[in-house]
Amino acid sequence: MAFVTANWNPLGEAFYRKVELYDMSWKLKESLREYLIAAAPYGGPIALLKGYQGRSPSTRPQLEIFSASGVPMASFPWKSGLVKQLGWTVSDDLLCVQEDGTVLVYDLLGGFKRHFSMGNEVSQSQVMETKIFHSPYGTGVAILTGALRFTLATNIDDIKLKRLPEVPGLEGAPTCWAVLTQDRQSKVMVANGYHLFILDNTSCTSVTPPGLSPQASSILHMCVSFSYKYLAILTDSGHVWMGTSNLKEKISEVDTNIRNPPKQMAWHEASQQSSVVIMWDRLLLVVGECKEIIQYPLDSDSVLVPEMDGVRIINETHHELLQEVPGACEEIFKIASMAPGALLLEAHKEYEKESQKADEYLREIKEQNLLAEAVKQCVEAAGHEYEPETQKTLLRAASFGKCFLSNFPPELFISMCRDLRVLNAVRDYTVGMPLTHTQFKQMTIQVLIDRLVHRKLYPLAIEVCRYLKTPEYQGVSRVLKHWACYKVQQKEESDEVIAKTVNMRLADASGISYSEIATKAYESGRTELAIKLLEYEPRSGEQVPLLLKMKKSPLALSKAIESGDTDLVYTVVMYLKNELNRGDFFMMLRNQPVALSLYRQFCKHQELNTLMDLFNQDDNHQELGNYYVKASYNEPRLEARVALLQSSVDEFNKAKNEFAAKATEEEMRLLRFQRKLEEAKGEPLLGFSLHDTITALLSVGLHKHAEQLYKDFRVSDKRFWWLKLKALAEKGDWDELEKFAKSKKSPIGYLPFVEVCIKHQNKHEARKYVSRVTPEQKVKAHLAVGDLQSATEAAIERRNESEINTVLSRCSATTDVILVERLNRAKATAAKK
């Protein structure tokens, strides 16, 4: 505690510190330089591949994966091709880039996941160098091929290969290169001697960093910061140029006085004094913007792992974090600091010693009104400290200070306590995730839980979720689901036992999808277990896709119907249609009316023939009959049409639907008649209804034929009379009409005659029929022809009040005074009666 500042080094205004994270528990047989190595950021795992240079093809190199604390997680002999580069994805998968451009993907426990290729061009000209990079779009791979061209994929989960343009004047491998993400695009920066180029999708641009010292003749190394904002370049004159990665601004240039090429470079973006960390064989330099340098000697081969808030240094025995001392820590621990936090810490120390000095310190803070500030500083500093003891001391001081504040919001303190507890748990060397508080906040709790799940640390993950009160759906349930997916792959246990255990564990967790777990079980070849698990799935809709996949189609169909989701039923029906032979398919549908009616709908639009087969199988003669009738609509040729109708007659007969059969037969007769007449008289008739046919015949004067239809088809008298009446009036054939009226007694009376004539504005003709109208309709008839006088007579004669009223309403008060009077009188008498 007293020596907090022991490992601090000043750099300009700021301090840098190197914190020991772990003693590596790996027992490496050889020096690190013998390995191909990849360490994931955010305290991720480390992968090592020995003998990667493939000196003897017969020996199989060993691929090993360790946690950041050196605990072995996986190890297996490498059996594939020559590996050029290892790297980790954002989701903890290991990428192994082979010489031929094939990339193999493993999970962090060494399980093979998949592989993909970086394209033909790469496999032909072989991989020369590779860089694996992270961007907001995921993990990307950039490859420099033997043909000195770059190929790049920005996101390996959605591979779109881009071949970048050629670099002019490049004859051998470039001295160095880096990938940066700018303007939502991945670019490559290449140094060829003193020349610097930026390659994007379409062009290759030559660039010069502003203010780069002219004495250099070659760029030896370069690195881009974690956020892609800054760039550092080391030249053979020993100068480090620091600036923004868009090359618009130079921040600083420092002479290191070392001229040989470094092994590795890394940016450390800090709040006060950013720096570039450069590593040579036995030397580590921290070059600050302020042009000061800190030197650290190295005893053994090391690897730099850039983080967002520091650089981790891994060697055979140790794992350290190099970072600028965070502001709060500096304020508190700096020697002779008078910052409020420092005073509060001091006050608390004195308080523990039961010394009255505590009060003095406190007073000093309170007088400046800085107590809240002091508490905040202590809390913040606790977050940046690694030693639990130091964390505790700081938090205690904060808690102490808080007592003297009346309304200090407690959230800050509480959440820091919680975060630290979680962080300390995952930093434990058995877990081995040396996350800083800043990194933890950046990666979010969800991702942390994912990482724990990837490491199969289910109990810890659940504890963390419960402790941080993560909503169940995102927290505990998710972990349990992963656990269950893992559990069902354990071959040694029986289906019953696993199903039972899974159900027991998951019983009260909400939002669990059993179907996902069942899918996992099925994928690992345990169909029976999958079916058992599916039984637990409450939503039947979720069960269906998997049941189909497992070829349990009848079960899937009934589950789909049970779910009430027709879309799902459709899915199954379509699947079955392709899966089963037609007979079995129809049989299955037969027992499921809902599915059947859906399929019928589909067939109506897509496969009319199938529809017919369906009806046939069901002996549904009624529908078959209807089907043929419908089919006949679209048939232009008469013979075919009649044939179709004949089929429908047969079907209707089978269906014992005599009415339909007869109607159809008549239609056939009608069609034949129409055709005959069409041929003989040239009148277009085909397709007309009986009514329309007769109308058409009458209107062209084919009365005989009309009569024939009338008789043959037993058209009702009333209809025929209406028909003929209208047709004749339409034609204005008044003589014929009169003849017709006299031919026999009209079954529809004579009022229609009057009305139809009036409709055709022929009052004269209308009058002819008025006399023949029945007494009940006389008034109406008279009114229709506008004969008020007679209407009045008729109405009065019939002594019908409503009729009198009708007539009255038609009389005008000025011209028909006499009539009105008569009517009113008659009305009075009628009313009296």
Partner 1 sequence: MAQTERRDAPELPDFSLLKRLARDQLIFLLEQLPGRKDLFIDADLMSPLDRIANVTILKQHEVDKLYKVELKPIFSSSDQLCFLIRPRIQTVKWISDLVNSDKAAGRFRKYKIIFTPQKFYACETVLEEQGVFGDVTTDEWNFYILPLDDDILSLELPEFFRDNFLEGDQRWVTTGGGALHLLQSVYGSFSKVYGIGRCAKMVYETWREQMEDGDQRTKQPEFAKVFLIDRDVDFITPLCSQVVYEGLVDDIFRIKCGSVEFGPDVTSSDKSIKVMLNSQDKVFNEIRNEHFSNVFGFLSQKAKNLQTAYDKRRGMDIQQMKAFVADELKGLKQEHRLLSLHIGACESMMKKKTKQDFQELLKTEHSLLEGFEIRECITSIEEHINRQVSMIESLRLLCLLSLTENGLLSKDYRSLKAQYLQSYGIDHLLTFANLRQLGLLVEQQPGETLTVMESRVGKLVNDKTVGKLTDAFSSLAKKSNFRALSKRLALVPKSGDEYDLRVPRDMAYVFSGAYIPLSCKLIEQVLERDGWTGLEEVTRMLNGHEFAVTAVGNSSEARTKTDAQRIILVMFLGGCTYSEISALRYLGKERGCRFIILTTAITSSARLLEALLDNHA
Q: Which residues of this chain interact with partner 1, rule CB under 8 A?
A: 539, 561-562, 564-568, 570-571, 574, 592-594, 597-598, 600-602, 605-606, 622, 626, 629-630, 633, 659-660, 663-664, 666-667, 687-692, 713, 715-716, 718-719, 722, 748
**Alpha carbons 424 and 407: distance in angstroms, whole number:** 29
The secondary structure element, H or E, covering residue 293 is strand 293-297
- The two beta strands, 302-307 and 293-297, are unpaired
Amino acid at 38: A
Beta carbons of 785 and 804 less than 8 angstroms apart: no
To partner 1, the closest distance from the beta carbon of 663 in angstroms equals 5
Residue entry with tokens 């030249």: 235
Query: CB of 638: closest distance to partner 1 in angstroms?
Result: 14
CB of 499 to partner 1, least distance (A): 25
> Distance of CA 360 to CAs 357, 369, 658, Å?
5, 14, 113
Closest CA to 547 of 566, 575, 567, 570: 575
> Amino acid identity, residue 240?
V
Q: Among residues 461 and 561, whose Cβ is nearest to partner 1?
A: 561
Three-state DSSP at 94 gives: strand
Task: Specify the residue, 208 or 597, whose C-beta has the smaller distance to partner 1.
Answer: 597
CB 605 to partner 1: min, Å:
4
Phi-psi region at 369: left, alpha or beta (left = phi > 0; alpha = psi -120 to 50): left
* Nearer residue to partner 1 within complex by CB, 561 or 826: 561
Minimum separation from the CB atom of position 833 to partner 1 (A): 21
Whichever of 324 and 667 has its CB closer to partner 1, that residue is 667
Of the pair 66, 585, the CB lying nearest partner 1 is at 585
Contact yes or no for 168/131 (Cβ under 8 A): no
Q: Choose between 71 and 594: whose C-beta lies nearer to partner 1.
A: 594
* C-alpha neighbours within 13 Å on the C-beta side of residue 735: 1
244 to each of 203, 213, 224, 251, how far by Cα in Å? Answer: 21, 16, 9, 7
Is the CB of residue 615 less than 8 Å from the CB of residue 630?
A: no
Residues pairing with 303 in the sheet: 314
State in angstroms the smallest separation of the CB of 26 from partner 1. Answer: 47
CA distance 337 to 346: 10
Q: Bridge-partner residues for 182, per DSSP?
A: 185
For 322, the token pair is 């190099």
Whole-angstrom distance, CA of residue 438 vs CA of residue 386: 13
Smallest distance, Å, CB 775 to partner 1? 19
Residues 811, 780: contact at Cβ < 8 Å? Answer: no
Assess contact for 39 and 29: CB atoms under 8 A.
Answer: no
Segment holding 138, helix H or strand E: strand 138-145
Q: Whole-number minimum distance, CB 691 to partner 1, in Å?
A: 4
CA distance 598 to 615: 14
Question: Measured from the CB of residue 630, what is the shortest distance to partner 1 in angstroms?
Answer: 6
Residue 340 neighbours by CB distance under 10 Å: 26
CB of 684 to partner 1, least distance (A): 15
Q: How far is the CB of 687 from partner 1 (least distance, A)?
A: 8
Residue nearer to partner 1 on the CB measure, 296 or 722: 722
| CA dist list (Å): 752 to 747, 765, 773 | 11, 12, 9
Three-state secondary-structure class, residue 472: coil
Question: What does the angle CA 242 – CA 248 – CA 253 come to, to the nearest 5 degrees?
Answer: 20
Residue 819: CB minimum distance to partner 1, A: 23
For partner 1, give the closer residue by CB, 235 or 626: 626
**In the complex with partner 1, which residue's Cβ is closer, 248 or 605?**
605
CB of 660 to partner 1, least distance (A): 6
130 half-sphere exposure, CB direction, 13 A CA radius: 25
Indicate the pairing of strand 283-288 with strand 293-297.
Answer: antiparallel
Provide, rounded to whole angstroms, the least separation between the CB of residue 762 and partner 1.
Answer: 19
The smaller minimum CB distance to partner 1, of residues 216 and 568, is found at 568
